[in-house]
A and B are shown apart, each in its own frame.
Chain A
Amino acid sequence: MNFTLFVTALSTGILFVAVVTILAKLISPRSFNEQKEEPYECGIPTRGRSWMQFRIGYYLFAILFLMFDVETMFLYPWAIVMSELGPNGLYCVLFFLFVLVLGLAYAWKKGALKWQ
């Protein structure tokens, strides 16, 4: 039943966008113009391509995010049962968290968190 509802919600999104786009294309006016098809960069003619090399800083943060997010995902199963595990389970996980914080501290010291 849950899966059916998930599929329903997904198809709601897809149907909504598809139907409204078709409606908008049907009722909206249409005109053709050389200037209109240019990318809008505040009236200045575009120089070069836009699909070019991009600064590495964004990817660095993406990799850091991937690392930490996967590690937080590992903590969720522990969080569910933590009231039953009691202090013993906490000490085991504190070691895991220590490694996690060590990773953040290393990235910080290496200057990965600095935007330049």
Chain B
Amino acid sequence: MFFDFSKVTNWLHGWLTGFMPEWGAILTESALVLLAIIALYAVFAIIMIYMERKICAAFQCRLGPMRVGPWGLLQVFSDVFKMLTKEIVNLRKTDMFLHNLAPFLVVSASMITFACLPWNKGAHIIDFNVGVFFFLAVSSIGVVGILLAGWSSNNKYALIGAMRSGAQIISYELSIGLTMLTMICMTGTMSFSEICMQQYEHGWNIFRGHVPAVLAFIIYLIAGNAECNRGPFDLPESESELTAGYHTEYSGMHFGYYYLAEFMNLFICAGMASTIFLGGWAPLQIPGLEGFNDIMSAIPGAVWFLGKTFFVIFLLMWLRWTFPRLRIDQILSLEWKYLVPISMLNLILMALAVSFGLYF
């Protein structure tokens, strides 16, 4: 009943193998996947930068960008072209190799995690049976890029920003791991496509897991916000103390990569929240209401996925523009003294619920 995207990919594979050898077909498909990743990445980055500016403006009773294009719609494009035409400054005493390597690590890490998201039934790029492991492993490569950027810049602000960022990201990674573990206790699988399929059949995880799942969702949102260096946790680049943190010495397009990766990490974080807690592409189903369920199933899965993802993004932006910035000791004690013990208790709660069958 629900549209299966693997029909399209199977048809494409069959059509390509019709007139070219197997390796040629796989090469062509890889090229298509490459183009798809870059296109989606760029499109969502542009949408999110515009959204962030407009939402920030709305929270502060301003209009936001209005001059370039209708309602400032072309502002982001003009910013991208401006960044492209700015000089990439080479500083005298930097570690050039590491300085140039760092953007590669940051962007590659965020692109691979971006490829893990399930967009629709059958429409996922990377789908291992240990998907959650893979996701956690790749997402922590980004920290290496940030640390390298700060270290190689030969600038004290950049170094302090990178160290703060490293301490913060690895600390909050623990909470993300624990909350994902809590949900995996219930799903019993680590593959993202199977997690979505299960939620399509039995209902969203946040409803199935009741109290522990809601707690895990809240902890995930806090930790995810800190993982993206945003919101009240943006002290690695707190502009009033550290100029721009770890990317102080990056100029032009080099700075653009960090900007891009930061926004896309927010998208990936929200996408994971919607996949693991809110059902991914699974439509909202209420048992007993047949007509309602049929209407909800008629909406395509990608729309559901994007709707949930942008809902979570809006929540995180709301947090960002509402709370004041925390200090480094407050951030670390929030994680180690509150979130880690609470998520461990939550894990035990979920384990009890699952082993005694107390979930839907």
Contacts and interface: CB of A to CB of B under 8 A. Distances in A.
A68 interface: yes
A28 B252 contact: yes
Contact of A62 (B166, B329, B347): B166
Nearest to B132: A76
B181 A80 contact: no
Main secondary structure of the interface of B (DSSP, over half): helix
Interface string A77-97: 001111111110110011001
Interface stretch (B30-38, B60-68, B316-324): B30-38
For A11, A12, A51, A64, the residue with the greatest tally of chain B CB atoms inside 10 Å of its CB is: A12
A54 B159 contact: yes
Given A58-B166, A80-B184, A87 B356 contact: yes
Contacts of B41: 16
Nearest to B163: A58
B71 interface: no
B159 A28 contact: no
Contacts of B103: 17, 21
Contact of A11 (B34, B253, B347): B34
Interface string B328-354: 110011001100110010011001101
Nearest to B185: A79
B126 A90 contact: no
B355 A76 contact: no
A30 to B, nearest CB: 6
Contacts, number: 207
Contacts of B114: 9
Contacts of B337: 108, 113
A76 B128 CA distance: 15
Contacts of B91: 37-39
Contacts of B87: 28-31
Contacts of B155: 39-41, 50
B354 A82 contact: yes
Interface of A: 2, 4-6, 8-18, 20-21, 23-25, 27-31, 36-42, 46, 49-51, 54, 57-58, 61-62, 64-65, 68-69, 72-73, 75-76, 79-87, 89-90, 93-94, 97, 100-101, 104, 108, 113-115
Given A9-B37, A11-B34, A41-B243, 7 more contacts: A13-B109, A24-B253, A28-B85, A50-B154, A80-B189, A83-B354, A97-B347
15 contacts: A8-B125, A9-B33, A9-B112, A10-B111, A10-B112, A13-B109, A24-B253, A27-B85, A39-B155, A40-B155, A65-B170, A72-B174, A80-B189, A86-B355, A101-B344
